[in-house]
């Protein structure tokens, strides 16, 4: 049976655009200037995802940042990705 999960869209969080814009500008500089940082991101993007999205995840579901969908023993174990259609309102 799938575990309970909280519905979440990072872009709905307060200050998401402002905070993510600032963080991504810094990140771009880090990637260009630091080969080790760049290689770490390429080798495994989970830490970067956690770093970027942890401030916006629901407190009860911190695994939403930096954990792959399908990871056993998490609320993401049985999760599938979906999004509303941009062409037909209200349809997934």
Domain boundaries, the chain: 12-55
- The predicted structure's pLDDT at residue 82: 66
DSSP code at position 51: H
- Cα first-last separation, the chain: 23
Q: What is the mean pLDDT of each run of 10 residues along the chain (92 residues)?
A: 67 89 95 95 93 87 82 79 70 59
- The predicted structure's pLDDT at residue 92: 56
DSSP code at position 65: T
Instruction: Determine the Cα–Cα distance for residues 18 and 1; give it in Å rounded to an integer.
Output: 38
- The predicted structure's pLDDT at residue 78: 80
CB 20 within 8 A of CB 53: no
- The predicted structure's pLDDT at residue 4: 61
DSSP code at position 12: G
- The predicted structure's pLDDT at residue 65: 86
pTM comes to: 0.71
């Amino acid at each position: 049976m799938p575990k309970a999960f909280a519905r979440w869209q990072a872009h709905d969080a307060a200050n998401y655009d402002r905070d993510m814009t600032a963080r991504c500008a810094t990140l771009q500089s880090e990637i260009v200037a630091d080969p080790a940082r760049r290689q770490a991101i390429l080798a495994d993007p989970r830490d970067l995802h956690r770093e970027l999205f942890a401030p916006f995840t629901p407190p009860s579901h911190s695994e939403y940042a930096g954990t792959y969908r399908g990871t056993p023993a998490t609320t993401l174990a049985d999760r599938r990705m979906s999004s509303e259609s941009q062409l037909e309102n209200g349809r997934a």
